[in-house]
Amino acid sequence: MYSFPIAGERDCCPPLKTYSGTMSSLDPIRDGELSPELETALDSCVKVFMLQGFQHSTLEDLAVASGTSRDFIEKHFATKEQFCAAAMRWYFSKFYRQLRSVLALHSELYPAVEAVLYEFIELSREQYDAGTAMRFHTLMDIVELDPDLSEELRKMKLEGMEHFIFKFTQCKGELNTDDEATALAKFYATVFEGLSIMVQHGMSHEDLYSMANLSLEVLANHLKKGINF
């Protein structure tokens, strides 16, 4: 069982679930961090899937693409499916860990959402500038074609949302009415997804911040009178 430690997590959030991973103690992920070299290697492997096909790619192909050996790959992943699951975990853990930690630093809703939006932009732009995760959506689409992986992807997405919705629920007293919390949380989840795509489309740093700031007007409009930021 492999779990990713979450820095700065407080007991205000639901307990973290862990996924049954297949990585050994030689796992190159340490404290939830993946070296830039390994991020590039994972991305190269997804490129192999895209060009050679998930069905036809072998663990050997992945070893060549990642610049490692077949032994190394086989030591960590018994199958291509396990590789995909690990690549998904890598992507989500990196974002979720960081975003949860930012979320936990702010007790009030508006500063929390603002900080998470800005952090998300920074992380996404960092990845875009480094040229990693360029084929993330292909990986997600491959995963969609496998029922087990698809289920795991949904669980990961849900887990990320749970913490975010929890923050809105926790701070619902700041909102005009209690029942706005879920729809607002989903609205911001939509904004995150949209921002992630706009980063891939090459939207400028400045424009990304403008989008985040516009979206924050929605939250400001739902806050009870007297709560200003």
Partner 1 sequence: MKPCDKIEAGNVSPEAERLFDQCVKVFLLKGYEACTLDDIGKAAGCSGDCVKEHFSSKQELAAAAMRWYYIKYSRHMRTEMAMHQDIYSAMEAVLFAFIEISCDQVHANKGLFVRTFIDISNVDDFVKESFKELQDDWEHQVLDKFKQCQLELKDDADIEVLAHYFLTVIEGLYEMIKYGTPCDLMYKVAIESLGVLELHMKNGQPKKKKGSKKKSK
Which residues in this chain contact partner 1 in the complex, by CB under 8 A? 47, 49-57, 134-135, 137-138, 140-142, 144-145, 153-154, 157, 182-184, 186-187, 189-198, 200-201, 203, 207, 210-211, 214-215, 217-218, 221
Query: Nearest distance from residue 29's CB to partner 1, in Å?
Result: 24
For 187-220, b where at least 16 C-beta lie within 10 A, e where not — what string? ebeebbeebbebbeeebeeeebeebbeebbeebe
| Cα distance between residue 85 and residue 71, in whole Å | 19
Query: Nearest distance from residue 71's CB to partner 1, in Å?
Result: 25
Query: Nearest distance from residue 142's CB to partner 1, in Å?
Result: 5
- 22 contacts 78 by C-beta, under 8 angstroms: yes
Query: Nearest distance from residue 157's CB to partner 1, in Å?
Result: 5
Nearer to partner 1, 64 or 189 (CB): 189
Query: Nearest distance from residue 8's CB to partner 1, in Å?
Result: 27
Amino acid at 56: H
Residue 228: C-alpha distances to residues 74, 95, 132, 147, 184 (Å): 55, 28, 38, 46, 18
Nearer to partner 1, 29 or 136 (CB): 136
Contacts of 93 (CB under 8 A, 6+ apart): 4, 29, 32
| Cα distance between residue 17 and residue 158, in whole Å | 11
Nearer to partner 1, 126 or 144 (CB): 144
Q: What is the largest CA-CA distance in the chain?
A: 62
Nearer to partner 1, 29 or 142 (CB): 142
| Cα distance between residue 67 and residue 69, in whole Å | 7
Query: Nearest distance from residue 143's CB to partner 1, in Å?
Result: 10
